[in-house]
C-alpha cells in the first residue's frame, strides 16, 4: 500500500512535496505546530506558525480537551471533521487512542444527523461528486483525484442513508465516515481511500426545496439512464484504479441487490449493508450460542424487516447453517421475515424478488403484526433491521422471554433513534434474560444488581478487516466465504469475561487487532481460492500488521 510521501532519504527523513502555506493546507502532510524549528526553516514555515513546537501527544490532548467541552455530539462531529480537513495524522492518532468515545461521534449515530445537515454544515469538499453531467467523461473525473494509488473506494447514491431515507448528495458524509473507519480501525492509509457520491438527484421534497442544498436539485434519474451512469462509473474504476476495492454503501433495496449481483464477478466489490451487516450479525449469533449452548442450526430466527440487511443476514446464516449439517431448504425454513405489510409467506403475491426465496408456507393464516408472528412462529431469535423505532414492545420482548430461557433480541437499526428497543428495555422486559445486541451503542445497564455491557453489532468490526485482507492479498474478487470466515474470526475473539457481562463482541479498543485477524482470515480465502495476486507470505499475519497505517509524524529534514 502507498505511504504518505514519495521519496525516502537514507537518514530516514522524507522530502515534503510542498512548502510554506501549501504544506500547511495539505492535510496528508501537515503537522501543524509539530513542525520542528529545522523543518520550519527548511520548508518556509517560519512565522506561519506559533513559535512553540508541540509533540503529537500534546496536540492530541489539546484536541480531546476541546472536543469534550462541546455541548452537543454534533458540535463534536464538526470539530473532528475540521481536524480531518487540516491534519489527518493527528485526526487518526486521536481517533485510535479514543476509539470507544469517538466512533459514535465520527460515525453512527451522529453521522446520521450530519448527513441531514450536510449542506448547512459544509466547510470543505471531500471526495468526488459525479452527476449525469459527467456522463461520458467519468474516467477524467476519477483521474482528477490527486492520489493515484487508491485501494478502497466507498460509493453511495444517497438514496437510503441509514434509516433516514433519501438524502441525495448530503449522503457524502457516509463514505467519508466509512473510510475514516477503514483507516482508524483497519489501518488502510488515508491516501489510499476515495469517497464517491453518485449524485443522481433526490426525491426528498425538503432537500429539493432547500436553497442551501448542494446536490442536483432534480428528481432522481432511474432505469436505463441510472444503470448507464453506474456502469460507466464501475468501468472507470476498473481502468483508473485497477487495484481498488469498491464498496457499495446505502443504496436502496431495489438497486442494492441487483448492482451487487451485476458486478460482484466483474470487479472486486461488496455491499456492506448486505454482506458486512450479515457478517457482524452472524458473529453475534455465534457468540450468543456460547451462552445458550445452542448450535446455530438450532436457532429459529424472525427478522423484523426484509430489506438488504435482513436478506443479507439470512443468506449468510443459511450458508453457516448448512455448514453445520442442515440442507439449504432446512436452513432457509429456519429464517422468517416480516416486511412493512405482513409476514413474508408463500400466500403473498406482492413480494419483491429478493424476498421470494424466504416465502415459506405456514398454517397460521395472514400475520400482519410482529407480536402475532412471534406467538405463531415461536422464534429463538428476534432480529430488527427495519429502520423503524420502538418496534420491539414490552409485550413482544416478554413473549420472547416466555418462549425461551435466553431469548436473542438484536435491535440493529441505526441510528440510535431508530433502534427497535433500548438495551435497558430488553433486559427489564425479559427479567434480565435477553441476550441483546444493537446497531448503535448503548451505555451499560444495571438491572437487579447486575451490570450488563450491551454489545454493539457494529459493521466497523468487519469491513475494515475485510478491506485490509483484500488489499493485503491483492484479491481480485470478494466472496461470501470471506464474510463467513470474518464472522468466525470475530466471534473467536470474544472472551468468556465478555460473555459474562452480556457482550457478544470484543471491546472496540481491540479493533485494530481484530481487523488484522479478520484480514488474515479473508486473505487466506483469497489465496486458497486462487483469487490473490502474487505468492502467499510465509507469515501472513505479520505481513498484514506491517501494512497497517500508523498515524505518526514523519521527519522532513
Global pTM value: 0.93
Question: What is the C-alpha separation between 275 and 296, in angstroms, rounded?
Answer: 18
Copy the grid coordinates of residue 240: 483508473
Task: Give me the DSSP letters along 278-316.
Answer: HHHHHHHHHHHHHHH---GGG--EEEE--SHHHHHHHHH
Q: How do beta strands 450-452 and 445-447 pair?
A: antiparallel
Query: How much helix, strand and coil, in percent to the nearest 5, is found in the chain?
Result: 50, 10, 40
Catalytic residue among 31, 76, 77, 107: 107
Q: Are the C-beta atoms of residues 480 and 315 closer than 8 Å to each other?
A: yes
- At 270 the pLDDT is 98
Parts of the chain with a pLDDT under 70: 1-12, 15-16
Q: Are 447 and 432 contacting, i.e. CB atoms less than 8 angstroms apart?
A: yes
> Is residue 88 classed as helix, strand or coil in its secondary structure?
helix
pLDDT at 163: 80
Counting beta carbons within 10 angstroms of the beta carbon of residue 28, is it exposed (0 to 12), middle (13 to 18) or buried (19 or more)? Answer: middle
Q: Which of 178, 485, 524, 545 is catalytic?
A: 178
Alpha-carbon distance values, 188 to 7, 73, 117, 181 (Å): 20, 26, 28, 9
3-class SS letters over 402-442: HHCCCCEEEECCCCHHHCCCCHHHHHHHCCCCCEEEECCCC
- 314: number of Cβ within 10 Å: 27
Domains parsed from the chain with CATH numbers? 57-267 (3.40.50.10380), 274-552 (3.40.50.720)
DSSP one-letter code for 8: B
pLDDT of res. 16: 65
Is residue 427 annotated as a catalytic residue, yes or no? no
pLDDT of residue 27: 95
Residue 107 annotated to the active site: yes
Q: Identify the CA nearest to 519 among candidates 476, 483, 480, 477.
A: 483
Rounded (10°) CA dihedral 328, 334, 338, 339: -10
| Rounded (5°) CA angle 421-283-101 | 60
The burial of 501, by beta-carbon neighbours within 10 Å (0-12 exposed, 13-18 middle, 19 or more buried), is given as middle
Which helix (H) or strand (E) segment holds residue 336: the answer is strand 335-338
Amino acid at each position: 500500500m502507498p505511504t504518505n510521501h514519495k521519496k525516502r532519504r537514507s537518514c530516514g527523513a522524507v522530502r515534503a512535496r510542498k512548502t510554506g502555506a501549501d504544506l500547511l493546507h495539505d492535510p496528508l502532510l501537515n503537522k501543524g505546530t509539530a513542525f520542528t524549528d529545522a523543518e520550519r526553516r527548511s520548508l518556509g514555515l517560519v512565522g506561519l506558525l506559533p513559535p512553540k513546537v508541540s509533540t503529537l501527544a500534546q496536540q492530541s490532548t489539546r484536541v480531546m480537551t476541546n472536543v469534550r467541552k462541546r455541548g452537543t455530539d454534533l458540535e463534536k462531529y464538526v470539530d473532528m471533521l475540521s481536524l480531518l480537513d487540516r491534519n489527518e495524522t493527528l485526526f487518526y492518532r486521536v481517533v485510535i487512542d479514543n476509539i470507544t468515545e469517538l466512533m459514535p461521534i465520527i460515525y453512527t449515530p451522529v453521522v446520521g444527523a450530519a448527513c441531514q445537515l450536510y449542506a448547512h454544515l459544509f466547510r470543505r469538499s471531500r471526495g468526488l461528486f459525479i452527476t449525469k453531467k459527467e456522463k461520458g467523461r467519468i474516467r477524467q473525473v476519477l483521474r482528477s483525484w490527486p492520489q493515484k494509488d487508491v485501494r478502497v473506494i466507498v460509493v453511495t447514491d444517497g438514496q437510503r442513508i441509514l434509516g433516514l431515507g433519501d438524502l441525495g448528495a448530503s449522503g457524502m458524509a457516509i463514505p467519508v465516515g466509512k473510510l475514516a473507519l477503514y483507516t482508524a480501525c483497519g489501518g488502510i492509509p488515508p491516501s489510499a481511500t476515495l469517497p464517491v457520491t453518485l449524485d443522481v438527484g433526490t426525491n426528498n421534497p425538503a432537500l429539493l426545496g432547500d436553497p442551501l442544498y448542494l446536490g442536483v436539485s432534480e428528481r432522481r434519474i432511474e432505469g436505463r439512464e441510472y444503470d448507464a451512469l453506474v456502469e460507466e462509473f464501475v468501468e472507470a474504476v476498473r481502468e483508473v484504479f485497477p487495484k481498488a476495492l469498491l464498496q457499495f454503501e446505502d443504496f436502496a433495496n431495489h438497486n442494492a441487490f441487483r448492482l451487487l449481483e451485476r458486478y460482484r464477478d466483474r470487479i472486486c466489490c461488496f455491499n456492506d449493508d448486505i454482506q458486512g451487516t450479515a457478517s457482524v450479525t452472524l458473529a453475534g449469533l455465534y457468540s450468543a450460542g456460547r451462552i445458550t449452548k445452542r448450535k446455530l442450526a438450532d436457532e429459529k430466527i424472525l427478522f423484523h424487516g426484509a430489506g438488504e440487511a435482513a436478506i443479507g443476514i439470512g443468506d449468510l446464516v443459511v450458508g453457516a447453517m448448512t455448514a453445520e449439517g442442515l440442507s439449504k431448504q432446512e436452513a432457509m425454513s429456519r429464517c422468517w421475515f416480516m416486511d412493512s405489510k405482513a409476514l413474508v409467506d408463500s400466500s403473498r403475491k406482492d413480494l419483491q424478488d429478493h424476498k421470494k426465496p424466504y416465502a415459506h408456507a405456514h398454517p397460521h393464516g395472514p400475520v400482519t403484526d410482529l407480536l402475532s408472528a412471534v406467538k405463531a412462529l415461536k422464534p429463538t431469535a428476534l432480529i430488527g433491521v427495519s429502520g423503524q423505532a420502538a418496534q420491539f414492545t414490552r409485550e413482544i420482548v416478554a413473549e420472547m422471554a416466555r418462549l425461551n430461557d435466553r431469548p436473542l433480541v438484536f435491535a440493529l437499526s441505526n441510528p440510535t433513534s431508530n433502534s427497535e428497543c433500548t438495551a435497558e428495555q430488553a433486559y427489564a422486559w425479559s427479567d434480565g434474560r435477553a441476550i441483546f445486541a444493537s446497531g448503535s451503542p448503548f451505555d451499560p445497564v444495571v438491572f437487579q444488581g447486575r451490570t450488563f455491557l450491551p454489545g454493539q453489532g457494529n459493521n466497523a468490526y468487519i469491513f475494515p478487516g475485510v478491506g485490509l485482507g483484500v488489499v493485503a492479498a491483492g484479491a481480485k474478487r470478494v466472496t461470501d466465504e470471506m464474510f463467513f470466515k470474518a464472522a468466525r474470526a470475530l466471534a473467536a475473539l470474544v472472551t468468556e469475561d465478555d460473555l459474562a457481562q452480556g457482550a457478544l463482541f470484543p471491546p472496540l479498543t481491540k479493533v485494530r487487532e481484530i481487523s488484522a485477524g479478520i484480514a488474515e482470515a479473508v486473505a487466506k480465502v483469497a489465496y486458497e481460492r486462487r483469487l490473490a495476486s502474487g505468492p502467499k507470505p510465509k507469515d501472513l499475519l505479520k505481513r498484514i500488521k506491517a501494512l497497517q497505517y500508523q498515524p505518526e509524524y514523519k521527519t522532513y529534514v
